[in-house]
């Protein structure tokens, strides 16, 4: 299936903060802590990235005021 856009799958290093528990030692009934991504790893020198979620493409933009806007 050809998508109407070109995309790259990025797998930047995830930043784990000290207050998040070690996933290897977590209780199976406990909720897993969310991963934290550095926006610079996602954007690089660009101000926009495309995120493929299922069959939908979302656009994440970084504004001049350093805010983030997610659009479907």
- The pLDDT tens digits of the residues spanning 9-45 come to 454 555 445 455 555 565 655 678 888 889 999 999 9
In a domain, 8, yes or no: no
pLDDT of residue 47: 95
pLDDT of residue 33: 85
Number of domains in the chain: 1
How many whole angstroms separate alpha carbon 26 and alpha carbon 24?
Answer: 6
In a domain, 1, yes or no: no
In a domain, 57, yes or no: yes
In a domain, 55, yes or no: yes
In a domain, 52, yes or no: yes
Q: Which domain holds residue 61?
A: 46-72
Nearest alpha-carbon partner for 72 in 41, 51, 43, 44 = 51
How many whole angstroms separate alpha carbon 13 and alpha carbon 34?
Answer: 14
pLDDT of residue 28: 59
In a domain, 19, yes or no: no
- Long-range pairs for 10-18 at CB < 8 Å and ≥24 separation? 10/41, 10/42, 12/37, 12/38, 12/41, 12/42, 13/41
């Amino acid at each position: 299936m050809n998508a109407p856009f070109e995309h790259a799958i990025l797998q930047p290093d995830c930043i784990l903060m000290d207050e998040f528990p070690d996933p290897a030692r977590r209780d199976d009934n406990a909720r897993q802590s969310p991963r934290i991504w550095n926006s610079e790893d996602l954007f690089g020198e660009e101000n926009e990235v495309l995120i493929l979620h299922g069959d939908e493409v979302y656009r994440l933009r970084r504004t001049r005021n350093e805010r983030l806007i997610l659009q479907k």
